[in-house]
């Protein structure tokens, strides 16, 4: 049975997980149903197709090789007892997809089986159903999860992944002709690690966040979704400059301000640190497996009362991050995983998970989706809400996807810390309207 070792960042995700802080990401897709039995038919299709997708058969096992650098690592391997019916579940009809999704996102994935699930939620109205996909972050990042999910949806014309170039297997000693380059690379890696570490230390100084964004983990989850017209976002972007992503992040900043003020926590002096993950994977490359992530860290100008000024601040911060590149700065701390031996990941996982809120206050991540229509059993997807894992000690995470002319915000919160997640969802919609008015669009 063949297996491949987890990349360092995958191993970190595998080891920082706890019962109250599961490390799976999700996506809630809402489908327009052709018949009241479309949900049940979709569950049957998913089970039949999952059996033929190699990536869905992969479980994760611990590696304990004495006197080896692999000691304490973990590897993916095909599960000889793989049964799709262990992973795909058909639920009772519901009137609220997000209410059910929140409860399902609470539950950690089974670690002795391939770590993924698909939950089919028929709508009581008979004209819609939803599918909640859950993938452990050690199995897939956002792009890889999209590839796996697409493999069980109806076939679609996607660009052919570029073949992975086979690297020569290393011998016992490196090729002496490559030593100068190896030394320069090692020194560069050390310098980059020190730079990132210093930036992380600086980012923890003079922290200006809000108690509403932090919480002792309760293990409970609540989800919500917001749909925004992409044309509205483009009108703001064309008026004020920057990118679509700049506008979407500024909308989060303005919504936080509105939400904090409405719930009585206050936004004065609040400038939480937002982690903006950056994928280092090429979109058309399905391989290699594993997370290829870095990130940018910015302070959200929640305390600024001017919506256009908030957008300008976000745009400037993102430009500075892009100028520095995704390999430096506090947001690139995920890259430090490459410098930690496997056993240290295993032993230090609990400490790393507790340090997340010292590093950033809220996650704002973007998940790319294909522009062509997605279907399952001929039933078209009408909404797609990405759902990010919630770091230990944090109360709220925001994920964004653009699909067929609309922006979908997927919100995940600790249900006890944020019982009013719907109010924050409404604040996102209101902030877009505020920006449009301020732009005179």
Task: Return d(Cα 174, Cα 182) in angstroms, integer.
Answer: 9
3-state secondary structure 59-92: EEEEECCCCCCCCCEEEEEECCCCCHHHCEEECC
Closest CA to 325 of 431, 199, 168: 199
pLDDT above 90 covers what percent of the chain? Answer: 57
Q: What is the pLDDT of residue 349?
A: 45
349-407 pLDDT, tens digit each: 454 445 556 678 999 998 888 878 899 999 999 999 999 999 888 899 999 999 999 99
Q: What is the pLDDT of residue 87?
A: 97
Length of the chain: 441
Q: How would residue 436 be classed by pLDDT, with cut points 50, 70 and 90?
A: very high
Q: Is the peptide bond before 288 cis (omega within 30 degrees of 0)?
A: yes
- Confirm if 69 and 341 have CB atoms less than 8 A apart: yes
Q: How would residue 282 be classed by pLDDT, with cut points 50, 70 and 90?
A: low
Q: What is the pLDDT of residue 293?
A: 53
Q: What is the pLDDT of residue 75?
A: 87
Q: Are strands 128-136 and 116-122 parallel, antiparallel or unpaired?
A: antiparallel
Q: What is the pLDDT of residue 80?
A: 94
Is the model's pLDDT at 294 over the cut of 80? no
Closest CA to 256 of 270, 243, 244: 270
371-383 pLDDT, tens digit each: 788 999 999 999 9
Host H or E run for residue 162? none
Predicted TM-score (pTM) of this structure:
0.83
Pick the more confident residue, 235 or 6.
Answer: 235
Task: Return d(Cα 204, Cα 239) in angstroms, integer.
Answer: 34
3-state secondary structure 92-147: CCECCHHHHHHHHHHCCCCCCCCCEEEEEEEECCCCEEEEEEEEECCCCCHHHHHH
What secondary structure letter does DSSP report for 374? P
What does the block give as tokens for 324?
Answer: 């520095």
Average pLDDT over residues 111-121: 96
What secondary structure letter does DSSP report for 52? T
């Amino acid at each position: 049975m063949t297996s491949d070792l987890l990349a360092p960042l995958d191993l970190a995700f595998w080891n920082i997980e706890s019962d109250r802080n599961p490390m799976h990401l999700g996506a809630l897709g809402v489908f327009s149903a052709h018949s009241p039995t479309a949900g049940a038919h979709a569950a049957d299709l998913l089970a039949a197709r999952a059996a033929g997708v190699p990536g869905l058969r992969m479980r994760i096992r611990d590696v304990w090789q004495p006197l080896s650098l692999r000691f304490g690592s973990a590897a993916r391997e095909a599960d000889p007892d793989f049964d799709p019916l262990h992973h795909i579940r058909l639920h009772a009809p519901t009137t609220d997809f997000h209410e059910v999704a929140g409860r399902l996102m609470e539950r950690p994935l089974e670690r002795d089986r391939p770590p993924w699930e698909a939950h089919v939620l028929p709508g009581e109205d008979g004209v819609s159903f939803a599918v909640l996909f859950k993938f452990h972050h050690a199995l897939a990042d956002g792009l890889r999860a999209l590839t796996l999910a697409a493999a069980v949806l109806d076939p679609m014309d996607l660009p052919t992944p570029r073949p992975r170039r086979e690297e020569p297997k290393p011998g016992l000693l490196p090729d002496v002709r490559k030593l100068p380059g190896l030394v320069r690379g090692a020194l560069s890696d050390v310098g980059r690690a020190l730079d990132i570490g210093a930036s992380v230390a600086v980012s923890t100084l003079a922290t200006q966040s809000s108690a509403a964004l932090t919480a002792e983990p309760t293990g409970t989850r609540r989800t919500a979704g917001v749909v925004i017209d992409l044309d509205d976002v483009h009108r703001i972007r064309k008026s004020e400059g920057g990118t679509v992503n700049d506008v979407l992040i500024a909308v989060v900043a303005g919504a936080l301000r509105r939400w904090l003020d409405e719930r009585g926590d206050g936004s004065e002096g609040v400038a939480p640190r937002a982690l903006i993950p950056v994928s280092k994977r090429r979109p058309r490359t399905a391989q290699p497996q594993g997370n290829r992530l870095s990130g940018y860290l910015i302070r959200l100008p929640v305390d600024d009362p001017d919506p256009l000024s908030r957008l300008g601040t976000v745009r400037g911060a993102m430009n500075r991050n892009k100028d520095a590149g995704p390999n430096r700065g506090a947001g690139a701390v995920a890259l430090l995983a490459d410098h930690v031996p496997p056993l240290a990941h295993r032993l230090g996982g609990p400490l790393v998970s507790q340090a997340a809120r010292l590093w950033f206050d809220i996650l704002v991540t973007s998940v790319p989706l294909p522009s062509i229509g997605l279907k399952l059993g001929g039933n078209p997807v009408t909404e797609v809400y990405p759902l990010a894992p919630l770091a230990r000690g944090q109360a709220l995470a925001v994920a964004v996807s653009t699909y067929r002319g609309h922006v979908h915000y997927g919100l995940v919160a600790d249900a006890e810390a944020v019982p009013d997640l719907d109010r924050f969802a409404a604040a996102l919609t209101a902030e877009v309207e505020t920006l449009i008015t301020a732009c005179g669009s």
